Structure 1
Amino acid sequence: MAHPNTKRVSIGGVRSVLSILTSFLFGLALASAFFLWHAIHIIETPAVGASLGVTPLSPALKSVRRVQSDNENSASVRNPPPESKDTISPTLLSGLRILVTIASFDFMQLAHLEEVLDGFQDVCYAGSKVDVVIYTTVVYPVAFIDMLNDRMRCNDPSPTSGMTVTLMLKPASVRLHLVDFHRSLFYDRLDSYDLFVYTEDDIRISPKTLAAYMYETKRVSSLVGPEHASDYNVGIVRYEYNFPENVVITDKTRHATENVTRVYWEHLGKPIFEKAMDEVQHEKLSKLYMSSHGHHQGMYMATQDLLRAWKDRKGCKFDEIKNRPGSGSQPSEGTQRVWMSSQQLFAKRHCGVTQLLPIENFGQLTVLHLPNKNYRRVGKQGRIGGNDNSPKNEFSDGTEQFQPSHPDLLHALELHVEMKRHFPALKTTNLAGEEGRKKYVGIRMVDTDLKPGSFAPNHRRVAEKRLEAYKEYVARGGYMIDSDMDIDINAWRIES
């Protein structure tokens, strides 16, 4: 017969064993955590990734991560995963010196220009040194320049990055030839930059656009050889969104966008690879690239080497500014802006450079045409897809009446001015340099090409007043005073 306390003793023993086992496992977990932490923080160099708050992997964990990555991507032949490294590798844009030129005649497309500038500020934050030159015929008021100074400041994410903006004032009499001036600047500064970008003021260019261009340009050179690389240039295709033509999108009509998509309005015709896109006739390029049948881009990009080669290319002389061929307002080879951005470079009878659009990365080299209106022209008289029997393409006659937006909407410039009034002590944000030797580093406005008669009499007084105010703004260190902030938020563009 069992002792009456046997059952009670057995339960107590089990409890003791469980307590000891739990303590042992807890201690084991703590020890494991300590040694794992030690392996990560001590065995590895602690400086790697420290500025980003990233903890480097230990060698053991790296091998596990690498095996997992290899297994997950074992089917990928063309793009195998890179080996893990102890340093952060630079991107395609890191340290790249970029000269951007923009043709922006007046304030008509200022809303689009602001978006374009935002795109190039993103390029600065991607690690590039970006110098933007805007050719224009209007004088910007100090208040707007001050707002752009705050907005466009690239707060130096790396030692090799930065951004400057220069407004190059030209007389309005240059008209459509405003697009010409960038070409001389490119060749004057050829040794100072790695990448050159010319664009109109309504095309949204992003870091992705420039990185994809550099990637594909290097790829083309490796495929055809450096001696033939200048026979080609990687291009872009502009897109818009095909919103319904008879609808203003409101809360009531927002469902009308369910079938809206990107459209490449400049490239029409089916079968597509007979009338819109062309195959590239080159053994090593034909499976990777195509060209557009109509190659107008509104912009182009080029490396230093390509610009040099096109200067000496037979029948090209890309460094020389030439008038577009033909006559009339819509000549067969396009207007001056079409000529300078695309036709001279890509047309066979001129430079004869082949435009290349990558098949795999095509979407990375498509750019938004910000006005989003040209798709509405398609099929109209005198426009793409139209004929003499097509509906007329209507133009402004000056009689249009537009309903303004709600007067209570807060304008960007309005808020900027009030912030500067509310915080008057912030007066050094546009200064840089050593203490005692600081100088203005904001947007420059260069008026050396202007003459007293450059402006119409009714605009001359405003232009002269703004130029004088800008000079004083720079001289005192780039901060506004009351007279700069006394601006008509609704009328300042019309006054120009």
Structure 2
Amino acid sequence: MVVSHSHRPGNTRNAPSASTIRLGILLATAFIFGIAVCSAFFMYQTHTLDPILSGSHLPHYHGNAAPLQEHIPRPGRGLRPPSRNAREEPNDGARPKTEERPTAASVPSSILDGQRILVTIASYDFMQLPHLEEVLDGFIDLCYAGSKVDVVVYTTVVYPVALIDMFNDRLRCNNPSPTAGFTLTLMLKHSRVRLHLVDFHRELFYDRLDQYDLFIYTEDDIRISPTTVAAYLHETRRVESLVGAEHAADFNVGIVRYEYDFPENVVITDKTRHATENVTRVYWEHIGKPPFEKSMDKIDDPALAPFYLTCRHPHQGMYLVTPALLRAWRDRGPNCQFDKVRDRPSNPRNPGQPTEGTQRVWMSSQMMFGGRHCAIKQLLPVDNFGQLTVLHLPNKNYRRVGKQGRLGGGDGAPKNEFSDGSEVFTPTHPDLLKGLEMHVAIKRQFPGPMGADVGDGGRYAGIRLVDTDISLNRVSKNHRANAKKRLDEYAAYVSRGGYLIDSDMDIDVDAYRIASSV
């Protein structure tokens, strides 16, 4: 049965007209739009005026040096204009000056994009290998930041193939940018060079002067990051904009090394971890308080004085330098001759007694900054000081301060104790998995050329081991056979495209560092 429903009189409602619907939609849209505009306005005000949220106080490393204009002193304040050669375009006032805005395609995304960087590291043997691993990690980060980085390690030890293979995997830069890249070359030197291992980088720098945008020399225990390099480039451009290119050769942006002042009588364990509560960075080479009476100075140059300071003891253990500065220092005069490698100054009556530091101090810092030599003034930025401080990885030198013969130590101070060979060290737990041990285990499970370092044309493209500067005939008998074996194994490794075979993986991970030098 079908039941019909009839509408009761009075229940019928008139449907809204089309114009009413359109008006409602328009009013709702206007209301929502008004809320959005007000919200955007208040968010902008908050972000701009709040010093915590605002990014205006942060250093800017993108693009070129244009953002430095806000730091450049204006003429009329007793300071020089940013560039002695700067010329403004004439403007008759008929039309306002227009600034050509760079496009995204014309400005690099980072100050490190496309930088060609040559790094040299003095690493005598395996004693500081744990630190060298960290140093190399810092330079592979530079590749991922967009730079083309070539690293040369000067060493007196032949690295076993398994270790080279591990570094090949760890230091492979997969940045697809055509301007990025990373290479590592191990340059073998005879162990008799001893402290003069630090000399070889200088000739290489001048030989490659036209091939790179930046040169870095460092010891194997200083952690240099992309921030360090970006800050150096930023400040170097800033200095040139303040004093002009010619006068800029009188200065170089420097670094300060730091360590962490862990208590001297404590090993940090679960029981003593609270001892780190007051641990902080310390600049152990620059002691004395207050700092600007004892260890730091302001800069005399009026254009640089508001922005830079310097250390009274400018030892760095490393330096960064541009090709322009290398050229200028080569021609700076007979007291400089930065391109000429020579021995550190010594006592004329006792040539074995240095008067201005060891050979490593001489090559990294004193030749550059010493007043009787190149007399370059070290600059450290006031507002970016922390970005040009670098970690000294051994973290032990702060313990020297106040000891006899060391900074802050007088005749009555405690003696600075050195190793005498009688030390006995407690080994770590045998179940701890070592890095090389893990690498070999992976390669045994995944053998063959799967991860081989093969470049275009099917040729080996991994770490290079260069032995042209040594002669095995001059190597002691104890080391000669081992050195030859490792060199032959490396040659075979390269010939098959860079992958391990069983004999390469039969390595004693606890003993491979013994009898390795040439």
TM-score range, shorter chain: 0.7 to 0.9
SS of residue paired to 1:190:
coil
Report the residue type matching 1:72 in the other structure.
T
* Selected match of 2:496 from 464, 476, 495: 476
Cα pair 1:329 1:335 within 8 Å, conserved: no
CA distance in 2, matches of 1:451, 1:80: 50
| Residue number in structure 2 paired with 1:91 | 110
Note the residue ranges of structure 1 that are not aligned, 5 or more in a row. 34-59
Mark the CA change 1:290 to 1:318 in structure 2 (over 3 Å): closer, same or farther: same
Is 223-232 or 448-457 further displaced after alignment?
448-457
CA distance in 2, matches of 1:388, 1:80: 45
| Residue number in structure 2 paired with 1:464 | 484
Q: Per-residue deviation at 1:454?
A: 3.8
Mark the CA change 1:127 to 1:376 in structure 2 (over 3 Å): closer, same or farther: same
CA distance in 1, matches of 2:14, 2:337: 97
| Residue number in structure 2 paired with 1:334 | 357
| Residue number in structure 2 paired with 1:142 | 161
CA distance in 1, matches of 2:25, 2:45: 32
Question: Is 1:213–2:232 an aligned residue pair?
Answer: yes
SS of residue paired to 2:503:
helix
Q: Per-residue deviation at 1:271?
A: 2.5
Cα pair 1:134 1:167 within 8 Å, conserved: yes
CA distance in 2, matches of 1:173, 1:490: 26
| Residue number in structure 2 paired with 1:42 | none
Report the residue type matching 1:376 in the other structure.
R
Question: Is 1:439–2:415 an aligned residue pair?
Answer: no
Q: Per-residue deviation at 1:494?
A: 1.9
* Selected match of 1:380 from 378, 395, 403: 403
* Selected match of 1:72 from 48, 52, 55: 48
CA distance in 2, matches of 1:333, 1:232: 20
CA distance in 1, matches of 2:114, 2:46: 31
Q: Per-residue deviation at 1:25?
A: 6.7
Alignment of 1:54-453 (within 5 A): 68=44, 72=48, 89-314=108-333, 315-327=335-347, 331-427=354-450, 429-433=452-456, 437-453=457-473
Report the residue type matching 2:354 in the other structure.
P
Q: Per-residue deviation at 1:428?
A: 5.2
SS of residue paired to 2:387:
helix
Q: Per-residue deviation at 1:334?
A: 0.4
CA distance in 2, matches of 1:319, 1:414: 43
CA distance in 1, matches of 2:277, 2:509: 36
Is 154-163 or 340-349 further displaced after alignment?
154-163
CA distance in 1, matches of 2:144, 2:320: 20
Q: Per-residue deviation at 1:365?
A: 0.0
Cα pair 2:256 2:390 within 8 Å, conserved: yes
> In the TM superposition, what whole-angstrom CA distance separates every residue of 1:248-281 from its partner, at most 9, and x where no partner exists?
0000000000000000000011221121101110
SS of residue paired to 1:375:
helix
Q: Per-residue deviation at 1:84?
A: 10
Report the residue type matching 1:293 in the other structure.
R
> In the TM superposition, what whole-angstrom CA distance separates every residue of 1:355-392 from its partner, at most 9, and x where no partner exists?
00000000000000000000000001111111111111
Q: Per-residue deviation at 1:200?
A: 0.2
Q: Per-residue deviation at 1:460?
A: 1.5
Q: CA RMSD in A?
A: 3.1
CA distance in 1, matches of 2:307, 2:125: 40
Mark the CA change 1:111 to 1:80 in structure 2 (over 3 Å): closer, same or farther: closer
SS of residue paired to 2:303:
coil
Q: Per-residue deviation at 1:351?
A: 0.3
Mark the CA change 1:339 to 1:133 in structure 2 (over 3 Å): closer, same or farther: same
Cα pair 1:427 1:478 within 8 Å, conserved: no
| Residue number in structure 2 paired with 1:486 | 506
| Residue number in structure 2 paired with 1:36 | none
Cα pair 1:173 1:454 within 8 Å, conserved: no
Q: Per-residue deviation at 1:393?
A: 0.5
Note the residue ranges of structure 2 that are not aligned, 5 or more in a row. 1-7, 61-66, 68-100
Mark the CA change 1:427 to 1:224 in structure 2 (over 3 Å): closer, same or farther: same
CA distance in 1, matches of 2:370, 2:59: 38
CA distance in 1, matches of 2:353, 2:311: 21
Q: Per-residue deviation at 1:426?
A: 3.9
CA distance in 1, matches of 2:236, 2:482: 46
SS of residue paired to 1:228:
helix
Q: Number of residues paired by the alignment?
A: 452
Cα pair 1:238 1:366 within 8 Å, conserved: yes
Mark the CA change 1:69 to 1:463 in structure 2 (over 3 Å): closer, same or farther: farther
Mark the CA change 1:416 to 1:220 in structure 2 (over 3 Å): closer, same or farther: same
CA distance in 2, matches of 1:368, 1:164: 24
Report the residue type matching 2:466 in the other structure.
V
> In the TM superposition, what whole-angstrom CA distance separates every residue of 1:398-448 from its partner, at most 9, and x where no partner exists?
110000110000111111111111011444530011xxx311000000000
Is 274-283 or 124-133 further displaced after alignment?
274-283
> In the TM superposition, what whole-angstrom CA distance separates every residue of 1:40-73 from its partner, at most 9, and x where no partner exists?
xxxxxxxxxxxxxxxxxxxx99xx7999389715
CA distance in 2, matches of 1:171, 1:67: 65
CA distance in 1, matches of 2:476, 2:454: 35
CA distance in 2, matches of 1:25, 1:201: 70
Q: Percent identity?
A: 63
CA distance in 1, matches of 2:41, 2:482: 65
SS of residue paired to 2:153:
strand
> In the TM superposition, what whole-angstrom CA distance separates every residue of 1:271-303 from its partner, at most 9, and x where no partner exists?
211211011101011111011010100000100
CA distance in 1, matches of 2:431, 2:286: 42
In proportion to residue count, which structure has more helix? 1
Q: Per-residue deviation at 1:157?
A: 3.5
> In the TM superposition, what whole-angstrom CA distance separates every residue of 1:450-489 from its partner, at most 9, and x where no partner exists?
1124433212111110000000100111111111011001
